[in-house]
Amino acid sequence: AQTSELGKQTQLTEVAGILLQTATVGNWSQIQNFQAKPDDLLICTYPKSGTTWIQEIVDMIEQNGDVEKCQRALIQHRHPFIEWARPPQPSARNAKDTMVSYYHFQRMNQMLPDPGTWDDYFEAFINGKVGWGSWFDHVKGWWEMKDRYQILFLFYEDIKRDPKHEIQKVMQFMGKNLDETVLDIIVQETSFEKMKENPMTNRSTIPKSILDQSISPFMRKGTVGDWKNHFTVAQNEIFDEIYKKKMEGTSINFCMEL
Ligand code: A3P
């Protein structure tokens, strides 16, 4: 584990085979007993898959595109993480870009274990030995669930390719009907460039002792295909083999580059 002022908290502990942060493990029974109300909206994402992005999109829709209202509080307070069960979230992103993003996040997040070298991290990630568990299990689980419950399954890559179309889907799912002009505002305000500059979404108010953005910014690149700058040819082949095995039998299809 990484040494920081909050040293001990970088330890992850397993619950039902999934590594979780100490704060989550301590509150597990409360979290597991969470009862949703019929009109609750849960955003369920694997880490680094665009959680913050979809949070901002959902709030912009909820607030009818009112930019000022969306400035009322930090994103993590507008949509608190259920697993932290403090006063206070399926979107999927392809596994390779998620792995890269997660690696850089663990480098800068002093509350999570040091990721080690990229090669070490590659191993940990494909074996699901990272916080919040296996990407494969998360994605497969929600994909299988999506037709049985009221679930809108979104892909990071689709939002990137055609934000307006995907935002419209979220809007319809939320039972909202906003004008084209409002939709255009939401597209603009939730762009990577805007959210990188927005103190309510870029995590700039979190102290350096927790998120050290000089190591790697929270709003890092926001692109599809950055994995090509990290994966070796051999790693890519190993990954594709493992992916085929682990995702066998699912109809899910990920876009790896735009
Ligand atoms: P990168 O590290 O690849 O840049 P999460 O919010 O789940 O932690 O996900 C973080 C990832 O989403 C980061 O990816 C971040 O840059 C990206 N992201 C955040 N806001 C975005 C936006 N508006 N458009 C595209 N990507 C965004």
Per-residue pLDDT of 140-155, as tens digits, reads 999 999 999 999 999 9
Strands (E), 24-122: 91-92
The CA angle 215-96-140, to the nearest 5 degrees, is: 125
Please tell me whether residue 92 adopts helix, strand or coil conformation.
strand
Per-residue pLDDT of 215-237, as tens digits, reads 999 999 999 999 999 999 999 99
What average pLDDT score do residues 109-117 get? 94
CA 109 to ligand 1 centroid distance, Å: 15
- 44, 46, 52, 161: which to mutate for ligand 1, most atoms within 8 A of CB? 52
Q: What is the pLDDT of residue 100?
A: 97
Rg (CA), the chain: 18
On whether the CB atoms of residues 81 and 89 are closer than 8 A, the answer is yes
Pocket of ligand 1 (CB under 6 A): 45, 47-53, 97, 101, 104, 190-192, 195, 219-222, 226
On whether the CB atoms of residues 173 and 152 are closer than 8 A, the answer is yes
Residues near 75 by beta carbon (within 8 Å), at least 6 away in sequence: 52, 55, 56, 59, 200, 201
d(Cα 186, Cα 56) in Å, to the nearest integer? 9
On whether the CB atoms of residues 1 and 7 are closer than 8 A, the answer is yes
CB-count exposure of residue 22 (10 Å: 0-12, 13-18, 19+): middle
C-beta atoms surrounding 92 within 10 Å: 24
**Shortest-distance Cα residue to atom 27 of ligand 1:** 222
Q: What are phi and psi of 131, to 5 degrees?
A: -55, 140
Q: What is the pLDDT of residue 1?
A: 36
Res 119 pLDDT > 70: yes
CA 77 to ligand 1 centroid distance, Å: 18
Per-residue pLDDT of 230-256, as tens digits, reads 999 999 999 999 999 999 999 999 999
d(Cα 203, Cα 256) in Å, to the nearest integer? 27
Please name which of 91, 126, 121, 93 lies closest in space to residue 106, comparing C-alpha atoms: 121
CA 92 to ligand 1 centroid distance, Å: 12
d(Cα 16, Cα 200) in Å, to the nearest integer? 34
Q: What is the pLDDT of residue 248?
A: 95
Q: What is the pLDDT of residue 234?
A: 98
- Looking at per-residue pLDDT, the higher value among 90 and 129 belongs to 129
